[in-house]
Amino acid sequence: MDKDSIVLYPGCSLETSSSHYLQSLKTVFGVLDIPFRILDNWNCCGATSVKSIDEHLNLLLSFKNLALAENQGFRELVVPCASCYFRLLGAEYELNKDNKLCEDLNKKSDLPYKGKVKVRNILDFFVNVAGLDLISEHVKMPLKGLTIACYYGCLNTRVPVEKAFDVREYPKTMDNIVRTLGANVVDWSYKTDCCGASLFITVNSIAEKLVGKVLKDASLRKVDCVTVSCPMCQTNLDTKQSIIRKKYSIEHPIPVPFITQLMGLAFGCTPKELGLKKNFVPIESILEKSSVN
């Protein structure tokens, strides 16, 4: 892929509750010297809520984003949020499969779309487009001595099998990035377990139980942090961690950095450039351990 043609779809949470994800992503792209643009005039993907109660609206929202990308001259849409990725890829899949549906939407919405845009997950982008060699070249402060668990959550990988960029039930893309940064990665059967998503808001007790299981197992494996690439997972694992730790007798705090924050740390970026202050469980502890080793 031509690197000049990269367009990012940030999604709503990267502009507010997970702005540290977007900030660290931009910083990392800067270090790797990857020029990019943000999709002009993008709209919300609808997330799981719209899909749950209005299938047609769900399709329309993603159709518009895909059509915008195509009309703005891009062939690929790079998506950092797992939920947005899942929704956009779902629409790409559905519209490619059903030409009549695509034509119908073209006509009704006055927005031409030929189905030429490929939706790409950010992990897929880092490993298969930018490449691990490029990442490795920029590592100035290897994360030596750290043991890290990679948490993919659900929607990064549970796509139709022909669209999958990684093994759906035991993905390794993020593991490979973390290894390139110099850290140890644990083999982890919880890497694609569910964090509860919006149950975190609606039925707290259920989401807390799910997050508790994930964090408990991470702590038993004595990891220094759990890294993620999904804003929903990050929020659920990080925001109420002190309460959940107490409830499930988890002794030590477990930082939950975005993969881009870890990359930035290994590239020697400052905490400010990576928005580290926005994480609830402080990440500084892992920095100290890494610099000692």
Q: Which residues make up the interface to other proteins (CB under 8 A)?
A: 12-13, 15-19, 41-44, 46-57, 60-61, 63-64, 105, 108-111, 154-155, 158, 168-169, 192-194, 196-199, 201-204, 206, 210, 239-240, 277-278, 280
Query: Which CB atom, from 75 or from 203, has the smaller least distance to other proteins?
Result: 203
**In angstroms, what is the minimal distance from the CB of 145 to other proteins?**
29
Cα 7–Cα 10–Cα 11 angle in degrees, nearest 5? 135
What's the min distance (Å) between Cβ of 131 and other proteins?
28
Name the residue nearer to other proteins (CB basis): 18 or 261. 18
Residue 35 CB, shortest distance to other proteins, in Å, is 24
Between residues 75 and 277, which has the closer beta carbon with respect to other proteins? 277
Judged by beta carbon, residue 51 or residue 120, the one nearer other proteins is 51
Q: Are 156 and 193 in contact (CB under 8 A)?
A: no
Rounded to whole angstroms, the maximal C-alpha distance in the chain is 62
Shortest reach from residue 278's CB to other proteins, in Å? 5
